Chain A
């Protein structure tokens, strides 16, 4: 594996780590609830991308886990170059659950806005849980 390939791989991994950190900052520090939700979706998507990345193989040629025509040698060939199908199947589940949670949080924010006329946590905190 060449240095450039390793550099690109490290770059992708570190960029994802940086994205996680930025989204955590957004969740913790932004006072606006909508921006908190956006940061949360970024965090979830980055986590999913991480899982996909773990199932990837840095080889050439790399193939999707699909075998068009069955044959004994075809299966061997596929095992030699196919990516891991399990993370992809798990990520689909994670995306759907994440979407469900996001929809729920979005409607909680709408509810908060209807009750308090604000989506700013500092404004809502003034009501003291009333």
Chain B
């Protein structure tokens, strides 16, 4: 409670200065597109159809125009996860969980985890059509095992098939997919990470935006499983839970 006064003071200062700035017109709100943003928007939507095969400008920039940037960003992210996997490769002593969470929490978690899986898959698979994408979907996916970890236990996650090893394998498969999708155009006479003439824009009359959907799906798997691996590492295994379940 001792911090209430400073916080209220800061709030009051912000309100007063916001009013002063608004009346004086110090901070102007942007109403026009910047030239670079306009350039990208025009280039994404140009020429009778979509230049990158996707009606979504952000994903087009992310995996097509600035694709190499995203590729190396992904590699930095996974180097960090590999680093943490290495740093944390020691035995944690098991603890006894004194109290279980209530039935309400566990039932809600069961429903919510399934719904999170569905929503995250939708975010990732529609990444080339609507706002969203592989990374956003993957981070949403990782919330489901995190909820199960907190509401139930690490053992339950492992006995139901999501062990640390399996998470790392799924992550590696996703990364391998991204790498193969990036290198495949080279073998077909294109450039690295080339999108459209190499990959088909439509598959079975569905707009799949060339390589964008592959990147999104692989990134979804890699990020989701990578985060799950880190959560599994951070969590502490419980001693008594499995016996109680039986």
Interface residues of B in 106-136 (CB under 8 A from A): 129-131, 133, 135-136
A18 B40 Cβ-Cβ under 8 A? no
B79 at interface by CB-CB < 8 Å: yes
Which of these, B14, B40, B46, contacts A86 with CB under 8 Å? B40
B45 A70 Cβ-Cβ under 8 A? yes
Which of these, B14, B61, B77, B87, contacts A96 with CB under 8 Å? B77
A121 at interface by CB-CB < 8 Å: no
Which of these, B10, B19, B61, contacts A85 with CB under 8 Å? B61
Given contacts A58-B29, A85-B58, contact A93 B87 (CB under 8 A): no
B131 A93 Cβ-Cβ under 8 A? no
A101 B48 Cβ-Cβ under 8 A? no
Number of interface residues of B (CB under 8 A): 59
Report the minimal beta-carbon distance from B227 to chain A, rounded to whole angstroms: 9
Say what secondary structure dominates the interface of chain A.
Answer: helix
A79 B30 Cβ-Cβ under 8 A? no
Complexed CA–CA distance, A22 and B7 (Å): 10
B42 at interface by CB-CB < 8 Å: yes
Given contacts A58-B31, A107-B88, contact A10 B21 (CB under 8 A): yes
Name the residue on A nearest B73 (C-beta).
Answer: A93
A10 B22 Cβ-Cβ under 8 A? yes
B31 A10 Cβ-Cβ under 8 A? no
A22 B10 Cβ-Cβ under 8 A? yes
Interface centre among B21, B34, B45, B66 (most CB of A within 10 A): B45
Which residue numbers of A lie inside 8 Å of B, CB to CB? 1, 3, 5-7, 9-11, 13-15, 18, 22, 54-59, 64-68, 70, 75, 78-79, 82, 84-89, 92-93, 95-97, 99-101, 103-104, 106-107, 110-111
Can you spell out 27 A-B residue pairs with CB atoms less than 8 angstroms apart? Answer: A6-B25, A6-B27, A7-B22, A9-B22, A10-B18, A10-B22, A10-B27, A11-B15, A55-B34, A57-B31, A58-B31, A67-B50, A68-B55, A70-B48, A70-B55, A78-B41, A85-B60, A87-B37, A89-B62, A92-B70, A96-B135, A97-B77, A99-B77, A100-B81, A103-B230, A104-B80, A106-B84
Which residue numbers of B lie inside 8 Å of A, CB to CB? 10, 13-15, 17-19, 21-23, 25-27, 29-34, 36-38, 40-42, 44-46, 48-50, 55-58, 60-62, 66, 69-70, 73-74, 76-77, 79-81, 83-84, 87-88, 129-131, 133, 135-136, 230
- Identify 9 new A-B residue pairs, CB closer than 8 A, beyond the known A5-B29, A13-B18, A79-B33: A6-B29, A10-B18, A10-B19, A18-B13, A64-B131, A67-B50, A68-B55, A79-B38, A97-B76
